[in-house]
Amino acid sequence: KTKDDKCSICMSDFTDKKQLKCKHEFCEQCLKNAVKHGGPICPICKDVFGVMKGNQPDGKMTWNKCQLSLPGFPGCGHIFITYNIPSGKQTENHPNPGQYHSGAVRTAYLPDNKEGNEVLLLLKKAFEQKLIFTVGASRTTGADNMVTWNDIHHKTSMSGGPECYGYPDENYLSRVKEELKAKGIQ
C-alpha cells in the first residue's frame, strides 16, 4: 500500500473516506474530529471548506462615516466601527462555562474608500459568524474571562502608525483581507 491509501491524520487505511474540494482525503471520523477542534479547515493545506463559526459572545456591530481623512488616505473620509459586547455568562464554547465574562466596547477605523468599504462588509460577515472576538485572557492586562480580539487585526487608532494600531499603514487593508480569508471570509 502507498501512503495515498492511508489517512494522513490517523496514518491507517481509510475508513469511510471523505474527499474535500482541495482533493485531500481523510477518514470520516478523523475529519469530524479535526473540524471539532479546528473548524472546517483542511488539516493539510488549510483550505476552508465550510462556514467557520466562532465563539464570540452576542453583541452589536455598528458603524458611522465621518469626513475626516485618515493619515495615508487623503481625499476620503473614514468609517468608525463600534463593537459592543455586553458582559454575560460563558457558554460551553468558552474556557470557563457558567462563569461571568466582562464585556467590551471597542472601536476601529477604516478609510471610506472602495477597499475600506469592502473590508467593512467582510468584517460584518465575520462578526455575524462570531469570529471577531472570543473569551479568554486579556493580552494587555493578563486578566482572565475577558472579551478579547480573535486574530483579525483592527486599527483602533486613527494615527500613530502600526506600532500604535493606527494609520498610516499602507498594507493594512490587504493584510486584514488575508486574515479574513484564512477564516473563510471573502
Whole-model pTM: value is: 0.81
What's the average model confidence in pLDDT over 51-76? 95
The CATH number of the structural domain formed by 60-183 is 3.30.390.130
Q: Is the pLDDT of residue 3 over 70?
A: no
Q: Is the pLDDT of residue 72 over 90?
A: yes
Q: Is the pLDDT of residue 1 over 50?
A: no
What's the average model confidence in pLDDT over 123-128? 98
Lowest mean pLDDT among 32-46, 110-124, 164-178: 32-46
CATH 3.30.390.130 in the chain is located at 60-183
- For residues 12, 13, 18, 21, the Cα torsion angle rounded to the nearest 10 degrees is 80
pLDDT at 131: 96
Q: Indicate the average pLDDT of the chain.
A: 93
For 32, phi then psi, to 5°, come to -60, -45
> Is 184 exposed, middle or buried (CB count within 10 Å of its CB: 0-12, 13-18, 19+)?
buried
Span 1-50 CATH architecture: 2-Layer Sandwich (3.30)
Closest CA to 184 of 92, 59, 67, 49: 49
CATH 3.30.40.10 in the chain is located at 1-50
Distances (CA, A) of 42 to 31, 51, 60, 65, 186: 9, 13, 31, 38, 17
